[in-house]
Structure 1
Amino acid sequence: MPQITLEHSPHFDGTDWRALALEIHQLCVDVVGATTQACKTRIVRCDDLIIADGDPAQAMVHCDLRILTGRTQEQKTALGEAVQAALLAGVKPYDGPAQISVEIGALDKDNYRKVTLGG
């Protein structure tokens, strides 16, 4: 925890996704009390997607962020707003139509399992 997926259209290839992921990790620490070591981000470039009317100029970035249950709605809202602000500030500028979205979801503590191996 947290489990983070950053999906983006090719329009944002020039973005420093590593730096943005590390910034989101820090937001998870600051806003919901996660540990940096627990944060995991997958960055997925979406070549095959259809947005709105299918115009290839349509662009998107979506952050799916799953955190363990037990956080308040205020914490989840604050995290979502902070991550969206980071995305808006951190993605490569694009002049065409774009959608930047964030979803904060829950990982059920009773059903989530993790083992850390090695040093």
Structure 2
Amino acid sequence: MPQITLEHSTHFDATDWRALALEIHRLCVDVVGATLPACKTRIVRCENLIIANGAPDQAMVHCDLRILSGRTQEQKTALGEAVQAALLAGLAPYDGSSQISVEIGNLDRDNYRKTATGG
């Protein structure tokens, strides 16, 4: 925890995704008390997607962020707003239409399992 997926259209290939992921990790630690070693981000480049009317200039970024249950709605809202701001600040410039979205969801504590090994 947290489990983070950043999906993006090819319009944002010039973005420094590593730096953006590390900023989101920091926000998870600062806003909801996650531990840094627990943060995991997958970055998914979407070549085949259709947005709105299907025009090729339609761009998107979506952050799906799952945290262990037990956080308050206020914490989740604060995290969502902070991640949204980080995305807007960190994305490579794009002149076309874009949709930038964030969803904060719960990982059910009773059903989430993780094993970590090594140092």
Distance 1:69 1:118 in 2: 26
| TM-score normalised to structure 2 length | 0.99
Note the aligned Cα RMSD (angstroms).
0.3
Amino acid at match of 2:94: Y
The superposition leaves residues 2-59 of structure 1 with CA deviations (integer Å, 9 ceiling, x where unpaired) of: 0000000000000000000000000000000000000000000000000000001000
Listed as ranges, the gaps of 5+ residues in structure 1 are none
Residue aligning to 2:93 = 93
Cα deviation, residue 83, structure 1: 0.1
Amino acid at match of 2:66: R
Cα deviation, residue 117, structure 1: 1.1
| TM-score normalised to structure 1 length | 0.99
Distance 2:15 2:56 in 1: 19
1:38-117 mapped onto 2 (5 Å cutoff): 38-117=38-117
Distance 2:88 2:35 in 1: 24
Matched-pair identity in %? 83
Amino acid at match of 2:20: L
